[in-house]
Chain A
């Protein structure tokens, strides 16, 4: 009877597997970027074959050239800075309002009954629907855009804060009270840290929504920023710049989310053993 014996020497496929594992361990970000290679390649191929007219579907090369030109003219860095600044300002304001509001709703039954339905209703209205009336009140400017961002960031953060507070083990609150903590101290020492993992999730979601709201506002209303870049390019009929804007958007968000927000979320949750992965 012939017994099949596996080849003791690693073959080509095995060597590939080892290489992939090592890549994943040493440079995880590089490994995460690998799937984009076939995407970019098929993009390049589709554009090169002119499956769609070149004016409608430019290739990666055209986009890169456009990027270099815009950087050179100083437009891209300036717009990028504008967008990011607005987002930071709006998001910080939003968070500064949302967390206390969330704590209030989470801890007070009465506040919950009164405030929860309007909260849900206004969340349903959405930030975009506010633009027309904001334009009447504040015109085409920074105030309008900041309002939209604050509005959008508010809801995920409030909702997740409330969720976080509700999921705190009640024994922790009882323990704090029996150890003599005042209401204020309890909030600072027990409630906020206890709800922190959920707050971080809310923050992460809120920033995502805020980013999108910013772009929408810039497209419809703006005078500068990446969203405006895309809107202006559309007016000029320049698909290349629109694509550039979208890629910059996606990359920026991806980087911020993967390298800043996700690690923070993981660090708070996992460190305290509160979130299982």
Chain B
């Protein structure tokens, strides 16, 4: 597992419709330790998705740096796995082939990568769906596939862009608990973007509040693991932490 370090990261782009430069991110400095789970929350338009896109390498940074374990990034790559809000599974590949895509790109042979894919599908409880196509699965199942597809590539850092926003509320709670289970098992470094404050607090070691492209606040979450919704929903620590974060977000 590796650390993720952002140093004075900034991102501006030109909006031809307004005729001005727009600053999406400004002076973002953040250090995420190996194995740490960090949530980023903020009001709409605060730049959190842009932040993820820059770290993932889909957008170039305008200033500052992004480093994975001291090495600066260049473009997208298997060291930073991404889980998308829209799942972004390949509709023309089976679930097994989707999960095995990363290994395939690295040149792993058919038998070996099928074995790897099956292992990860079992981790997500989806071994029975290996031969199905994404269109045949529910939203929750598709996103599970999305998560293990990114994990099967053994990335140094896992970036998650509001991954559960397109899933129904009940499934969301289940997926959150599963994510924690997988994270505890794998000790992955995770950056999790969301607009859902309780979700952010539930999952993370630390919650970062972003506003207008700047880091407003960082709040540590010291709740015990493993965390379960049934326990935490009445927990005073959890409730006060959530309230604090929500306050910060709304004041931003």
Contact = CB atoms under 8 A, between A and B. Distances in A.
Interface of A: 1, 3-8, 10, 14, 17-18, 20-21
Contact of B16 (A4, A6, A8, A18): A18
B64 interface: yes
B8 interface: yes
15 contacts: A1-B7, A1-B8, A3-B10, A3-B63, A3-B64, A5-B62, A6-B21, A6-B62, A7-B21, A10-B14, A10-B19, A10-B21, A14-B14, A20-B16, A21-B17
What band does the interface of chain B fall in when counting residues whose beta carbon is under 8 Å from A?
Answer: 10 to 19
Contacts of B8: 1, 3
5 closest A-B pairs by CB: A17-B16, A4-B63, A6-B12, A21-B16, A14-B14
A216 B29 CA distance: 69
B7 to A, nearest CB: 8
Nearest to A2: B63
A6 B63 CA distance: 8
Contacts of A3: 8, 10, 63-64
Given A6-B21, A8-B21, A17 B14 contact: yes
Nearest to B19: A18
Interface of B: 7-8, 10, 12-14, 16-17, 19-21, 62-64
B192 to A, nearest CB: 27
Between A5, A6, A20, A21, the greatest number of chain B beta carbons within 10 A of the residue's beta carbon is seen for A6
A7 B21 CA distance: 8
Contacts of A14: 14, 16
A1 B7 CA distance: 10
Contacts of B19: 10, 18
Nearest to A4: B63
A4 B62 contact: yes
Nearest to A7: B21
Between A8, A14, A20, the greatest number of chain B beta carbons within 10 A of the residue's beta carbon is seen for A14
Contacts of B10: 3, 5
B21 to A, nearest CB: 6
A117 to B, nearest CB: 31
Contacts of A4: 62-63
A7 B62 CA distance: 10
Contacts of A18: 16, 19
Given A3-B63, A6-B12, 6 more contacts: A1-B8, A3-B10, A8-B21, A10-B21, A14-B16, A17-B14
